[in-house]
């Protein structure tokens, strides 16, 4: 794996905690000694709508938006959102796709059938990981919110970063009861 320049695309719906996930992971990678850049979009257009963020790290300062066909990892916190960003998957099918099984339906649009999603995913990658992160978060912490931190824990198996460094960074972002819950979620994700 090439850690001189590594690109993560993160997608989901507004309000799912994408930016926090991005912030903690980015900060931890910086603490590990990498040059990191993330991009975010805030504001109205994101509420309930699709959000796409990027995280890039390595030896140099990179642009906040990557090229198409260049992502090493794509994370989707809502299942159908993955379709929107598959343009970033590498043509050699090596991109890791990490996908939450959570489906957010809309009454006025048909939700893409699972067979359709699977077919397209297989066209684009040989490394597909479906995880029921919402259920895991609720089951392990009694709370849905730290679902993003479960995902954070899961991604570490692919990244050049020590789990203690991430754990210490989590301590910088939460305190009290929230810290306890998020550490639990993090460990749950690590051990999946």
Of residues 165-184, those binding other proteins (CB under 8 A): none
DSSP state of 141: H
Residues contacting 59, CB < 8 A, separation 6+: 4, 5, 34, 35
Q: What is the dihedral of CA 131, 164, 59, 66, to 10 degrees?
A: 20
Answer yes or no whether residue 106 interacts with other proteins by CB under 8 A.
Answer: yes
Kindly indicate which of the ranges 45-53, 125-133, 150-158, 180-188 contains the residues binding other proteins, using the contact rule CB under 8 A: 45-53
Is 13 in contact with 41 (CB distance < 8 Å)? no
Say how many residues make up the chain: 192
Instruction: State how beta strands 73-76 and 96-100 pair.
Output: parallel
Site string for other proteins, 130-169 (x = CB under 8 A): ----x---------x-------------------------
100: part of which helix (H) or strand (E)? strand 96-100
**Judged by CB, which is closer to other proteins: 96, or 169?**
169
Smallest separation (angstroms) from other proteins to the CB of 121 = 9
Answer yes or no whether residue 40 interacts with other proteins by CB under 8 A.
Answer: yes
Answer yes or no whether residue 64 interacts with other proteins by CB under 8 A.
Answer: yes
Smallest separation (angstroms) from other proteins to the CB of 171 = 13
Answer yes or no whether residue 109 interacts with other proteins by CB under 8 A.
Answer: yes
**Judged by CB, which is closer to other proteins: 76, or 191?**
76
Look at the alpha carbons of 17, 139, 176, 152 in this order and tell me if their dihedral is positive or negative: negative
Phi then psi for residue 52, to 5 deg, are -125, 130
d(Cα 100, Cα 16) in Å, to the nearest integer?
Answer: 11
DSSP state of 109: B
Kindly indicate which of the ranges 85-93, 149-157, 159-167, 181-189 contains the residues binding other proteins, using the contact rule CB under 8 A: 85-93
Instruction: Give contact residues for other proteins (rule: CB under 8 A).
Output: 13-15, 22-23, 26-27, 30, 35-50, 61-69, 80, 83-84, 86-87, 91, 102, 104-112, 116, 120, 134, 144
């Amino acid at each position: 794996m090439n850690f001189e320049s590594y690109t993560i695309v993160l997608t989901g719906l507004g309000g799912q905690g994408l930016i926090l996930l991005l912030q903690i992971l980015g900060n931890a990678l910086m603490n590990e000694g990498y040059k990191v850049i993330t991009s975010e979009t805030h504001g109205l257009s994101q509420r309930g709508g699709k959000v796409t963020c990027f995280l890039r790290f390595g030896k140099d300062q990179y642009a906040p938006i990557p090229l198409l066909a260049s992502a090493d990892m794509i994370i989707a916190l809502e299942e159908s959102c993955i379709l929107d960003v598959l343009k970033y998957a590498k043509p050699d099918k090596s991109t890791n796709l990490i996908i939450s099984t959570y489906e957010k339906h809309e009454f006025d649009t048909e939700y893409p059938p699972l067979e359709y999603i699977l077919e397209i995913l297989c066209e684009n990658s040989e490394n597909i990981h479906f995880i029921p992160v919402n259920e895991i978060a609720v089951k392990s912490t009694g709370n849905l919110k730290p679902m993003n931190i479960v995902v954070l824990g899961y991604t570490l198996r692919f990244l050049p970063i020590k789990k203690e460094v991430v754990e210490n960074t989590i301590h910088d972002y939460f305190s009290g009861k929230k810290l306890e819950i998020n550490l639990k979620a993090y460990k749950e994700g690590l051990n999946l």
